[in-house]
């Protein structure tokens, strides 16, 4: 049995600028995302999405936490940007695209970069559209831990070469 291919997720959690209302930031993001989506698709990004978490949603989760005595820490970021891709070459193509660089500059007035939280993970999906997926013979079809945790297979050759020489990319 062959393994299900690893899908990486880069998640960036941001606060909106205090200079703009939630509605203004949302309207800006809608225009921005329409342009960014085309660039991401052109360079092979598997999925690109925004997750909005306005104060009423955070308050709802805080109340759920309190009511159920969960002990959760409620994330107070306004927006989470998620990039899903198979290897870093795809992400590097986006970051190196002059059209994307110009587009990114346009977001600066709307974003508060303080306390931005970034995470990198791999995704294991087991239910999609109410259907069980990636389970074969009652077992996950994803590869073993050692295979999935090895980022070298997702790095472009030039990055691997720089890292092997002790440099940074």
Residue-number span of the structural domain to which 97 is assigned? 7-123
Per the domain annotation, does 147 fall within a domain? Answer: no
Per the domain annotation, does 141 fall within a domain? Answer: no
Per the domain annotation, does 16 fall within a domain? Answer: yes
* Higher-pLDDT residue of 92, 62: 62
pLDDT of residue 166 exceeding 80 = no
- Reported as a single tens digit per residue, the pLDDT across 6-49 is 999 999 999 999 999 999 999 999 999 999 999 999 999 999 99
Length of the chain: 169
Mean pLDDT of 149-154: 87
Mean pLDDT of 51-60: 97
Q: State the CATH number of the domain containing residue 33.
A: 3.30.70.100
On the 0-12 / 13-18 / 19+ scale of CB atoms within 10 A, 40 is: buried
pLDDT value, residue 1: 57
Distance CA 124, CA 42 (A): 25
CA 161: distance to chain centroid? 26
pTM of the model: 0.86
On the 0-12 / 13-18 / 19+ scale of CB atoms within 10 A, 142 is: buried
Per the domain annotation, does 2 fall within a domain? Answer: no
pLDDT value, residue 165: 57
Non-local CB neighbours of 28 within 8 Å, separated by 6+ positions: 20, 107, 110
- Give percent above pLDDT 70 in the chain: 92
Per the domain annotation, does 136 fall within a domain? Answer: no
pLDDT of residue 162 exceeding 80 = no
Q: Are residues 3 and 122 in contact, defined by beta-carbon separation less than 8 angstroms?
A: no
Number of domains the chain is built from: 1
Per the domain annotation, does 137 fall within a domain? Answer: no
Beta-strand ranges (E) seen in 59-137 are 79-85, 111-123, 127-128, 131-132, 135-136
pLDDT of residue 158 exceeding 80 = no
As a whole number of angstroms, the longest Cα–Cα distance in the chain is 54
Cross-strand bridge partners of residue 14: 79
Per the domain annotation, does 48 fall within a domain? Answer: yes
Provide the 10 A C-beta neighbour count for residue 155: 18
């Amino acid at each position: 049995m062959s393994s299900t291919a690893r899908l990486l997720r880069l998640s960036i959690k941001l606060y909106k600028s205090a200079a703009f209302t939630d509605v203004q930031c949302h309207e800006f993001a809608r225009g921005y995302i329409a342009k960014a989506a085309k660039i991401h698709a052109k360079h092979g990004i598997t999925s690109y999405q925004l997750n909005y978490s306005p104060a009423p949603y955070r308050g709802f989760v805080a109340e759920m936490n309190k009511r159920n005595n969960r002990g959760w820490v409620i994330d107070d970021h306004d927006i989470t940007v998620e990039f899903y891709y198979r290897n870093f070459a795809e992400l590097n193509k986006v970051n190196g695209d002059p059209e994307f660089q110009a587009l990114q500059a346009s977001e600066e007035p709307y974003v508060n970069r303080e306390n931005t939280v970034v995470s990198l993970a791999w995704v294991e999906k087991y239910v999609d559209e109410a259907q069980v997926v990636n389970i074969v013979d009652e077992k996950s079809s994803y590869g073993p831990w050692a295979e999935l945790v090895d980022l070298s297979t997702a790095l472009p050759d030039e990055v691997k070469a720089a890292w092997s020489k002790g440099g940074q990319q």
